[in-house]
Amino acid sequence: MMEKKLPVFGGAKPKAPTASEWEALAARIKRPLTAPVVDVLVPVYGGFAETMRCIYSVLDCEQKTSFNLLVVNDCSPDPEICGELRRLSSAGLIELHELPENLGFVGACNFGMGLHRDRDVLLLNSDTEVYSDWLDRIRRAAYRNGRTGTVT
């Protein structure tokens, strides 16, 4: 029986940002003067390159909306992921919370959503890459109508 290969969209597998890319990003980031109004919540377990590319893309896109990049490490067994998340947290690029046991995607999300109850929350899968003013556009859609409860 032949093993079926899944297509890779975009032509190539994601590559984690290099140390020099992280350094350049950190130098470019301008911290807002206002408190965050949105937590961009990324639960993490596996997929080192995809996760790092996701985090990098969130930080690389300039937004008018003041946000906090909240990463919940759901007890990942991958020492490379754990080490890099701690480094990014020490550099002030992310707010990191490490769970002592694996709660699964929903449990990690619930944990993260309970941290800053005064903020909106945007859940982002750790294999997502975002572009342009993505957060500003989602927030505009969410507040366009007072009856909107969720935007997907």
Q: Mind listing the pLDDT tens digit for each residue in 73-82?
A: 999 999 999 9
Percent of the chain with pLDDT over 70: 91
Say whether pLDDT at 35 is over 90: no
- pLDDT 10s digits, 134-150: 999 999 999 999 898 88
Region 42-65: mean pLDDT is: 95
Confidence at residue 13, expressed as pLDDT on a 0 to 100 scale? 82
Instruction: Please tell me the distance from the alpha carbon of residue 152 to that of residue 10, in angstroms, as a whole number.
Output: 23
Say whether pLDDT at 24 is over 60: yes
CB contact at 8 A, 120 and 142: yes
Instruction: Please tell me the distance from the alpha carbon of residue 143 to that of residue 147, in angstroms, as a whole number.
Output: 9
Confidence at residue 126, expressed as pLDDT on a 0 to 100 scale? 96
**Amino acid at the residue 24:** A
Confidence at residue 10, expressed as pLDDT on a 0 to 100 scale? 60
The residues that bridge with 42 in the sheet, in sequence order, are 71
Helices (H), 7-71: 19-28, 48-60
The residues that bridge with 97 in the sheet, in sequence order, are 72
Region 116-131: mean pLDDT is: 95
Instruction: Please tell me the distance from the alpha carbon of residue 44 to that of residue 71, in angstroms, as a whole number.
Output: 7
Instruction: Please tell me the distance from the alpha carbon of residue 98 to that of residue 86, in angstroms, as a whole number.
Output: 9
Report pTM: 0.88
Confidence at residue 34, expressed as pLDDT on a 0 to 100 scale? 78
Instruction: Please tell me the distance from the alpha carbon of residue 109 to that of residue 71, in angstroms, as a whole number.
Output: 10
Q: Exposed, middle or buried: residue 82 (CB in 10 Å: 0-12, 13-18, 19+)?
A: middle
